[in-house]
Amino acid sequence: MDYKKQRKDLKFGFKSEKDIHKILEDKFGELKNTADDEKYGKYFEFDKYNDNYFIEMKTRRILHNQYPTLFFGENKLKKGDKLLQENPHMKIFYLWKCNDKIVYWQHRSSPFNICPRGRWDRGKQEIDDCVDIQQKYIKSLDKLFEEE
């Protein structure tokens, strides 16, 4: 495993989350970082939350529509299901900050596939079951809440 590259990737992702925090608050209201809350901790499946939302952020060095799908770990979908059982009023969003825009998918809002996905560029195969979302179901963050 290339831990130097992994640390660099994590730093890139954390900086990206910090850079767009204000943009997210403009859409979702005041947000807290789960890593800063003892209740959730550093390894919680979602990155940000408030009384109404849980948000998972992925940062990608691609154009938002460069590939036919975007994906996230199935563990996050399962945790989202559990959170919604406990708090049915909550809404859960998965966001991707790409080179050209921020896009999102709302939890179970469309068909999806579960399939193995991952990366091989850090000296080791990092493969997990992932939720694979077709581009036609992924929406631009600037359109969030316009359709409600």
pLDDT in tens, 1-48: 655 655 665 554 556 566 799 999 999 999 999 999 999 999 999 999
Q: Which of 82, 88, 98 is nearest to 45 (CA)?
A: 82
pLDDT of residue 147: 60
* H or E segment to which residue 83 belongs: helix 74-86
- Residue whose tokens read 């807290």: 32
- Confidence band of 148 (pLDDT split at 50, 70, 90): low
- The reported pLDDT for the residue numbered 47 is 95
Strands 91-97, 69-73: parallel, antiparallel or unpaired by DSSP? unpaired
| pLDDT score for 3 | 55
Q: How far is CA 91 from CA 68, 70, 86, in A?
A: 25, 20, 12
Could you please state the CATH topology (level 3) that the domain comprising 3-143 is classified under: Trna Endonuclease; Chain: A, domain 1 (3.40.1350)
**Pairing state between β 126-134 and 113-119:** antiparallel
The answer to whether the CB of 27 falls within 8 A of the CB of 144 is yes
| Longest CA span, the chain | 45
pLDDT value of residue 125:
86
Give the pLDDT confidence of 85-130 residue by residue, as tens digits: 999 999 999 999 999 999 999 999 999 999 999 877 768 888 999 9
Cα torsion angle, 26, 40, 120, 110, sign: negative
